[in-house]
Every structure is written in C-alpha cells, then in structure tokens.
C-alpha cells in the first residue's frame, strides 16, 4: 500500500472542476454550522470545529482512499469526546488525537480496512440510531442555556442537566430559537416547492440565517458563538494530561476505533451512492488508504487547534448529490471554510448557539428518520433484536461497547435460531 496518492488519481483531476467547485462550496455551506455545533457540544471552542473541518477535511481528501469522502468533526466522534473532555479536559485531546491518529495509521499499514465488511447491517443501523439519540440529548444545555452537569454517561448527564434547567426560570428565547431553527431545517424542502425556488440553498444555512437575523432584529438576550480567531492556531502545549497510562491508551483506542468505523462506513455509503447516481464504473474506495488518510488528518488537526476527525456520512452524501466527481470537491470544501475563517469570522461570531442546537437536532432526526427505523423493525427476528440491543447498548453504555455487544448478540441469536430450526 502506498501512503501517497497514486499518480493516476491526479490525471483528469481538473476535468470536472466546475462540478467539483459547486459541490465543494455546497458541502462547505452545510459543514459550517455542523463544525461549529459539534465543537461547542464537545466542550471545545467553536474555532476548533472549523480547524478540524479545514485541516482534516483537506488532508483526508488528499491522502485518503475515496474520491467522495468529506471529513471533519462528526456527531459520532462528539459522542466519544464529550465524556473524555468532561473527565480530562479539552487539552487532553491533543495527546489523545496524536495517539489515536497513529493507531489508525497502524491499522492501515496492517491492512485491516476490509474488516468493516464483516459487521452486519443491523449492528451498523443500531449503532447509527444510538448516535442519533445521543446527539439530540447532547443539545439540552444549548437549548436551555444551562451549564452541563458533569459526568460521563449520556443518559444521566442529560437527565441531571434537564432537571437543572427546570429548577430555574426557563430561557424561552433560546428554546424558541432552537425550535424555529429545527422547524425551518425540516420544512425548507417543502417551502421551496411551494415558493417555486429552484436555487439550491442548504436548509441548515437558511435556518441559521433566519434565526440569527431574528435575534439581531429583536435584540434577544441569548448566548452567541462569540469571537473567532482569523487564523488556525498551532497547538503549543503537548504535555501529557494528568491521567493514568491505562486510561490514556483506552481513550485513544476508543477514538481510533470510532474514527476507523465511521470513516469506512461513510466511504462505503459514498461508493453506493456514486454507483447509483453518477457512474456504475466508478472505482471503489481503498479502505487501507482511507484509514491512512484519516489517521494523518486527525494528527494534523489536533496540532492546529482542532479535534479528532472522521469521515462524515451526511456531508459525504451532500458531496455526491451535489455532483462531485473527484477528491477535489472535498478539498475545495476545506478551502471554502478557510475563506470563511479569514473573511466572515465577525458574521459567524453572532450566530446563537441555540440555533446550532436546532441544526444538530435536525441532523439527529435525519439520521434516525422513522422510515429507516420502521424498515429495520420489519426484518427477521434476529436482525430486529440485534438492531434494538445495539442501539440501547450504544445509548446506555458507549459506542464501542455498543458495537461489541451488538456483534455478540448477533452471533448468539443466529446460533439459537439455527438450533431451533
């Protein structure tokens, strides 16, 4: 396996540059509120999300094994990082990101990329549903404008934070802004049809603009993103966090496994979409090259003030649907966000954090849409039970244990069923 892009991959890279340019800008617009929101949810500055999308987004596209993959901060990675940040602080992510990135590169060198094909569909669907629920629960502090209660278990933290919110006067301004943003994000496709709007404008961007304009016009007292730096700050503190070596290694392994799982899953989804929507002869991704690119991207990201990154299924889907033809589109998406940092930082700084929460609620509802859940529940008893067990385990315990329990349940149920038949 070559760790560098092959020469033939760059032949014709600019043949479809117009389509890649439009796709890259479209993805950049979609990625902007998500990058900001996931960083804030993690407990990091909003600028860390932008740094991740820019640095990891560019390097993963350059060195990775997929023509369509778009990388950056994601909801799944946020689920892993929130308890780590709560326990060890944001600064711990620098060393953890370097270790996790190195582990992902080792996976690539050991050619472990094909193992994702061994994970059953129902386990991956249950894993995805669990992530969607956790993303929604993590928005409670931003919606109610309260401090998040400390802890590492999502359900208990969400319950205690909600209890804290109702123990004081409710901040109706932030609640209404979050709900308005969610309503616009969900209703924009229908509104476009009613109004006859042909121009492609991402729903999340429309929702953010309307909500921010409303807050500005009414002078609503509500928390904003705040000032953003107009540079990518290089990390200067590489000191080890005050945690045991065992805890450090376990946390790094968890981040590395999640990065590998989500990135390979996203690349596989992108292949299927490209095969259906673009060209049946489109080359499939190279999973080991993809792991190498993701590992390198995470290491570079945390060195530039960012977070550990993964391939992002939602943004990758937007990339394919927007007409991307090569990896140039994902690179343009990163450069577009870099332009935002340099030029539009003052405008981005006034976005209400409650609006970002509304966008992320919309993302969680899109991931766990009722049609997909109903489809999963209409399958065989083994698949249905595995799906539910995996989702509950992800929510109640954590992502990695959720997948492990789901795989174990799948094997046990298959053996029981085969004996009964």
Tens of pLDDT, residues 90-110 = 989 999 999 999 999 999 999
Q: Under DSSP, is residue 273 helix (H, G, I), strand (E, B) or coil?
A: helix
pLDDT band, residue 71 (cuts 50/70/90): very high
pLDDT mean over 277-302: 85
Model pLDDT, residue 277: 62
Return d(Cα 356, Cα 147) in angstroms, integer. 16
- Positions of E strands within 337-393: none
| In a domain? residue 405 | no
pLDDT 10s digits, 141-165: 999 999 887 766 788 888 999 999 9
Mean local confidence (pLDDT), 277-288: 73
- DSSP E strands in 31-135: the ranges are 71-72
Buried b / exposed e across 330-347, counting CB within 10 Å, b at 16+?
A: bbbbbebbbebbeeebee
Strand (E) positions, 147-285? Answer: none
Residue 82 tokens read as 């929130």
Contact 309, 301 (CB under 8 A): yes
- For residue 196, the model assigns a pLDDT of 87
Place 280 in a pLDDT band, splitting at 50, 70 and 90. Answer: low
Length of the chain measured in residues? 421
Q: Which domain holds residue 106?
A: 7-369
pTM for this one?
0.87
Neighbours of 175 (CB within 10 A): 17
Q: Is residue 402 part of a domain?
A: no
More confident residue, 28 or 273: 28
Indicate whether 241 belongs to any domain: yes
Tally the domains of the chain: 1
Judged against a pLDDT cut of 90, whether residue 297 lies above it is answered with: yes
- The H or E element containing residue 311 is strand 310-311
For residue 169 the two structure tokens come to 């006067």
Query: What are 311's strand-pairing partners?
Result: 71
Please check whether residue 161 lies inside any domain of the structure: yes
Residue 2 belongs to some domain of the structure? no
Of 360, 368, 377, residue with least CA distance to 74: 360
């Amino acid at each position: 396996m070559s760790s560098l892009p092959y020469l033939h991959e760059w032949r014709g890279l600019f043949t479809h540059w117009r389509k890649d340019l439009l796709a890259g800008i479209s993805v950049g617009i979609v990625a902007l509120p998500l990058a900001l929101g996931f960083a804030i949810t993690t407990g990091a500055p909003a600028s860390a999300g932008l740094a991740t999308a820019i640095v990891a987004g560019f390097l993963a596209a350059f060195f990775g094994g997929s023509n369509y993959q778009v990388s950056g901060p994601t909801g799944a990675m946020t689920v892993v990082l929130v308890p780590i940040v709560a326990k060890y602080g944001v600064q711990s992510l620098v060393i953890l990101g370097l270790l996790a990135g190195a582990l992902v590169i080792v996976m690539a060198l050991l050619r472990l990329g094909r193992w994702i094909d061994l994970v059953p569909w129902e386990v991956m669907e249950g894993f995805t549903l669990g992530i969607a629920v956790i993303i929604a629960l993590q928005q409670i502090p931003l919606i109610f404008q309260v401090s998040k209660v400390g802890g590492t278990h999502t359900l208990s933290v969400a319950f205690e934070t909600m209890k804290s919110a109702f123990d004081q006067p409710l901040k109706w301004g932030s609640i209404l802004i979050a709900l308005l943003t969610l309503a616009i994000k969900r209703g924009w496709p229908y509104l476009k049809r009613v109004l006859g709007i042909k121009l492609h404008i991402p729903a999340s961007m429309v929702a953010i603009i309307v909500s921010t304009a409303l807050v500005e016009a009414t002078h609503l007292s509500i928390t904003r993103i705040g000032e953003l730096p107009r540079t990518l700050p290089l990390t200067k503190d590489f000191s080890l966090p005050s945690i045991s070596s065992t805890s450090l290694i376990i946390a790094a392994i968890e981040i590395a496994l999640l990065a590998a799982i989500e990135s390979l899953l996203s690349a596989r989804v992108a292949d299927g979409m490209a095969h259906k929507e673009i060209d049946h002869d489109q080359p499939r991704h190279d999973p080991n090259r993809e792991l190498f690119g993701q590992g390198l991207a995470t290491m570079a990201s945390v060195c530039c003030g960012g977070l550990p990154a993964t391939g992002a299924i939602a943004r990758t889907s937007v990339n394919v649907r927007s007409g991307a033809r090569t990896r140039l589109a994902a690179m343009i998406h990163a450069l577009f966000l870099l332009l935002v940092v340099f030029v539009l930082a003052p405008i981005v700084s006034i976005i209400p954090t409650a609006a970002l929460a509304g966008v992320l609620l919309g993302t969680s509802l899109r991931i766990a849409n009722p049609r997909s859940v109903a489809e999963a529940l209409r399958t065989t008893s083994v698949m249905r039970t595995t799906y539910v067990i995996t989702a509950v385990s992800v929510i109640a315990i954590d992502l990695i244990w959720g997948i492990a329990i789901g795989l174990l349940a799948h094997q046990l149920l298959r053996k029981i069923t085969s004996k009964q038949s």
